[in-house]
Amino acid sequence: MNRITNDHLPFVSVIIPCRNEEKFIGTCLESIIAQDYPKDKLEVLVVDGMSEDRTREVLEEYVKRCSFIKVLDNPRRITPAAMNIGIENARGDLIVIINSHAYIDSGFLRESVQALKRTKADAVGGTLSTINMGDGIISKAIPHALDSVFGAGGKRYRTRKEEGFVSDTLPYCLYKREVFDRIGLIDEDLVRDQDEEFNYRLLKEGGKIYYSPRIRSYLYARPSLKKLWNQHFQYGYFKPLVAKKTGLAFSWRQVIPALFVGSLAFSAILSFIFKPSIWLFGAVLSSYLFANLIFSFLISLKTGPKYLFVLPAIFAAIHFSYGTGYIKGVIDFLLMKKHKKGGIGDIGLTR
């Protein structure tokens, strides 16, 4: 593909929230440097949450090397604050926010800009593939679980092939700047799921989001069950707050893990009072284990039999952590109104 040289192309601001990412920020920035989009039409704002590792040293080297890369400070250290600092300082006609743990295809910006022009949408996004970040069998198996229907609930941006407008969220959308003027900035109550809430808010206000599989990005997955658990617990935890803020009901894939965990807990507790309830507990758990093993087996047929021994544990970590987090979120945000009492602690940007 020939590099774009059209002087009439819009100026694009790429915002990267970052904290303690010495291992990954270089890969992310290299993927932006490799874009077939004119560098005089591009700026990269890395918003650093006061990193304590070698991240700033790495960033200084890139700033010296590329004049279009700048570093901004994020004293609050949380992701939504970094996003807003980037947006407020961006000079671009178009704005995209990319995870520092991710990297993008060389045609990402070109395809995004072309799709935005072609469709007249307010935002465009594409596919997100998960990749492993370690040599262990669990690390290698986690992306297979996350990208599967059973693991991610069939998220369309992981598997969808056809282009079109969507009624759901997409990763790393390229937005028209006017979108932020129209519906506001990123909600800083949401330490996680803030981009999802923003996209749902955009859709609720009549905005249009377009999906193209030619817009490709890649995200490094958590390398261990413990880190995977923590990540998905937080994802689930903030989902009820997103629903409350947007006033939108979520799809079945976002609620089922909580219903599953809740039914197990309810039937287990009820069995102490009404002993036959233990049969409900057994039925729910055995149904889940059966589905878990079936999907683990099907994935292992394609990826290798060795993964059959770890995929069930990975799926369980995803579903139980997300479901538990969701239930806690319902209690904290819908019942206890924790977000109105200043009870949400700052969760750092570090992975």
* Residue 43 parent element (H or E): strand 42-48
The CATH number of whichever domain residue 32 belongs to comes to 3.90.550.10
Q: Could you give the C-alpha distances from 287 to 213, 295, 315, 332, in angstroms and in order? A: 34, 12, 14, 29
Domain presence at residue 103: yes
Instruction: For residue 125, give the 3-state DSSP assignment.
Output: strand
For residue 166, give the nearest of 176, 177, 156, 174 by alpha carbon: 156
CA distance 17 to 192: 13
Domain presence at residue 69: yes
Domain presence at residue 48: yes
CA distance 251 to 271: 30
CA distance 67 to 48: 18
- Show the domain range for 151: 12-223
pLDDT, one tens digit for every residue, the chain (351 residues): 444 456 689 999 999 999 999 999 999 999 999 999 999 999 999 999 999 999 999 999 999 999 999 999 999 999 999 999 999 999 999 999 999 999 999 999 999 999 999 999 999 999 998 888 778 999 999 999 998 889 876 555 666 678 999 988 899 999 999 999 999 999 998 888 899 999 999 999 999 999 999 999 999 988 899 999 999 999 999 999 988 888 766 667 778 899 999 999 999 999 999 999 999 999 999 999 999 999 999 999 999 999 999 999 999 999 999 999 999 999 998 888 776 655 454 444 444
Domain presence at residue 251: no
pLDDT of residue 106: 96
Tokens coding 184: 């506001």
CA distance 344 to 234: 12
94-97 and 69-73 as β-strands: parallel, antiparallel, unpaired? unpaired
Domain presence at residue 218: yes
Domain presence at residue 40: yes
Domain presence at residue 109: yes
CA distance 201 to 175: 13
CA distance 235 to 153: 14
For residue 176, give the nearest of 240, 136, 243, 120 by alpha carbon: 120
Domain presence at residue 132: yes
Give the amino acid at 189.
Answer: D
For residue 1, give the nearest of 103, 104, 94, 110 by alpha carbon: 110
- Tell me the residue length of the chain: 351
For residue 11, give the nearest of 33, 43, 48 by alpha carbon: 43
In the chain, the number of structural domains is: 1
Contact 112, 214 (CB under 8 A): no
